[in-house]
Amino acid sequence: MNIRHAILSLGISGLAGCASWQQFDGYLPTNPPANVIEAARVPGFEKRFSSLELQLVEEFVANGNLGMKNDLSGTRRLQVSADGLTSEVSRLTWGQATDGKVRGVVDVQQLSICGLQPLARDLAGKSVLADVKVAVSPVAVTTNSTDTIRTSLERLVVESLSGEAPKMCNPKPGTAYQFEVARQAQLRWSSIQNLRQHFVARISCRVADSTVPASSVIPGLDGDAIEVKCKAKYANEGDHDSRFMHFRSLGIYLPIETSEPERGRTVYRYVKASINALR
């Protein structure tokens, strides 16, 4: 589930109206349980860089009557531990208008397995919406504009992880793997009450038969990359399809395209990568 684009579409009425979202007081824990961390560790994982900084653009197209399009641009910084756990910090912005004001900011902190499966995520978003008032008199038209700021917070924490998760960090051409996650998501919007939902997803991934040059995905990157397609089946949300590239020289995944039936489709375009080697 990618809630950052719910922030863009302001489709909170659909979320609030879904029976699986429930009112909630308090906060979910910041970190996943210790048994989840232990299940996510990858035996024999080879750490290959100190840190990776990406410049990227996320192109989002909403479903339904909205038909809304948004391009988010920004930076993403990743670090990988010796057991494959990947930490990510990113900031994305969108909608810089002619007045020079940025119309939205999303800050994300995430812990994942090799960049593929999130284990915990904190997201803070802010949208600046123009509120235009027009006054008409017999001799003139006067326009007054003020900004309305809407904030949103999201927290996602995996409660259990089972299946073939350790296989995902070293995908072999032509193979497949499966795993299952149970997780809690929390939404807090400036315009609604605190909401929480429980998700169970069965995820199956299939690895392409052959590799491509990594530079064909990210300019200037050495080595090979291989495409991995994943389908997440949710009992209460339908199927989510995702495409990733696994970069062998880095040992991590980066998303290429995600599709959510209730929201829309996102295409990820990587403009530049800066790699800090191991010290």
**pLDDT string in tens for the chain (279-residue length):** 444 444 444 333 334 334 477 888 888 999 999 999 999 999 889 999 999 999 999 988 877 655 567 788 999 999 999 999 999 999 998 876 555 667 788 999 999 999 999 999 999 988 776 655 555 556 555 555 566 677 888 999 999 999 887 788 999 999 999 999 999 999 887 766 789 989 899 999 999 999 999 999 999 899 999 999 999 998 766 788 999 999 999 999 999 999 887 778 899 999 999 999 887
DSSP the chain: --THHHHHHT-HHHHHTSTT-EE--S---SS--HHHHHHH--TT-----SEEEEEEEEEEEE-TTT--EEEEEEEEEEEE-TTSEEEEEEEEEE---TTS---EEEEEEEEEETTTEEEEEEEEEEEEEEEEEEEE-SS-EEEEEEEEEEEEEEEEEEEEEEESGGGGGSPPTT-EEEEEEEEEEEEEETTS--EEEEEEEEEEEEE-SS-EEGGGTSTT--SEEEEEEEEEEETTTEEEEEEEEEETTTTEEEEEEEEETTTEEEEEEEEEEEEEPP-
The residue ranges of every structural domain in the chain are 4-276
Pairwise CA distance, residues 76 & 268, whole Å? 12
Backbone φ and ψ for 87, nearest 5 degrees, come out as -100, 140
User: What is the C-alpha separation between 208 and 221, in angstroms, rounded?
Assistant: 20
Residues forming a β-bridge with 70:
60
The span from the CA of 232 to the CA of 198, in Å, is 15
**Which pTM was predicted?**
0.84
pLDDT number for residue 171: 93
Which pLDDT belongs to residue 253?
Answer: 97
User: 163 exposed, middle or buried (CB, 10 Å; 0-12, 13-18, 19+)?
Assistant: middle
Show the tokens assigned to 78.
């990743």
